[in-house]
Structure 1
């Protein structure tokens, strides 16, 4: 499910001040970049990690969905993704843990969680299609007999 800017703004307004400060904290952004570089993520992948971290702090992504969302959106090994998530947990989420518990505890009680599907990668979808496979029957139709370019034997 995709959230509109108004829905995200509404969720942001209801956050505790501690979490609001962490979302726009320059040190947190620097920490995310350092975690990404340490784990050999490129700029695009670091951006994905930052997006998912923000969705988690807003209360949109449930704690049980954080790592699976990272795995599916990053497309890297589970072990490496788990290491990134562990470092985010220990360096960023640990500072606001009690507030996050309140956010995620309240969201389960007051509203039903919508299944959030991570953004689909169009390149993955295209690679699954069979558009790149040559069809054998078209080759046979073009050359029903012998190869026309082959010289006849003397």
Structure 2
């Protein structure tokens, strides 16, 4: 019996201390940053979809009409910024087609702090791109957008270099 208590008590103390909610109220906890990340906003095959640098986490996801969105979380202030639409995908614009989640954005931050996202591709559109010698045609178009200022997610410009 003593052996059981020697094992049980420390484990219970660890469990209860991990569940502590001291100094945390419901109003202080941020549970989400967006209400427009429908269905499959991110995926493991399109990655990375987030970067952490200088105490800020940047995340990219596919939002309404399959367009890319970016938000950021400042770990010091515990505040979200955004989300901001970072580009326009040709996916999701034809109401006769199903939602196509294959154009989710990926993200990198370069050495100068510019945030790059790549999004929108799913095999290409035959009418826009011609024959695809590597596989079938689906829809979409690979696109590249970059933040207009380093570490700033509010304004983006498209680059025609994918």
Same fold per superposition (TM over 0.5): no
With normalisation by structure 2, the TM-score equals 0.25
Name the structure, 1 or 2, with higher relative contact order (CA <8 Å, separation 6+): 1
Hey, which of these two has a bigger chunk of strand by percent?
Answer: 2
With normalisation by structure 1, the TM-score equals 0.26
Hey, which of these two has a bigger chunk of helix by percent?
Answer: 1
